[in-house]
Amino acid sequence: EAGVAQSPRYKIIEKRQSVAFWCNPISGHATLYWYQQILGQGPKLLIQFQNNGVVDDSQLPKDRFSAERLKGVDSTLKIQPAKLEDSAVYLCASSLDGTGVGEKLFFGSGTQLSVL
């Protein structure tokens, strides 16, 4: 079974530029998550989708970050314009249906973003 796919693996941009990350979850997983992991910290949830609807985007800086999940499968996370403090690893995860405290999340390898 294929895991969560993310691309690109690495991205270097200058501040004020825009960038987009792509994620393809495990087939059949209804719930998709984007996490931001700043160096030395644990991952922090940015946004959670249930199929193609947003469940939680309370931690998403909506003035510069946007995300969509068309057709309830792939997802794209965009930053425009990027700031220095956006340098981080962006992790995508998926789970079966997003309910229940015991549901496991499966993560991709992440996109490492450096903003210069």
Partner 1 sequence: AQKITQTQPGMFVQEKEAVTLDCTYDTSDPSYGLFWYKQPSSGEMIFLIYQGSYDQQNATEGRYSLNFQKARKSANLVISASQLGDSAMYFCAMREQQTGANNLFFGTGTRLTVIP
By the criterion CB under 8 A, which residues form the site for partner 1?
A: 3, 33, 40-45, 48, 55-56, 89, 91, 93, 98-110, 112
Q: Which is nearer to partner 1, 35 or 115 (CB)?
A: 35
Shortest approach of partner 1 to residue 17 CB, angstroms?
Answer: 23
Label residue 48 exposed, middle or buried (CB < 10 Å: 0-12, 13-18, 19+).
buried
Q: Least distance from C-beta 9 to partner 1, angstroms?
A: 8
b or e along 55-84 (b: 16 or more beta carbons within 10 Å of the residue's beta carbon)? eebeebeeeebbbebeeeeebebebeebee
Question: Nearest approach, Cβ of 109 to partner 1 (angstroms)?
Answer: 5
Nearer to partner 1, 81 or 112 (CB): 112
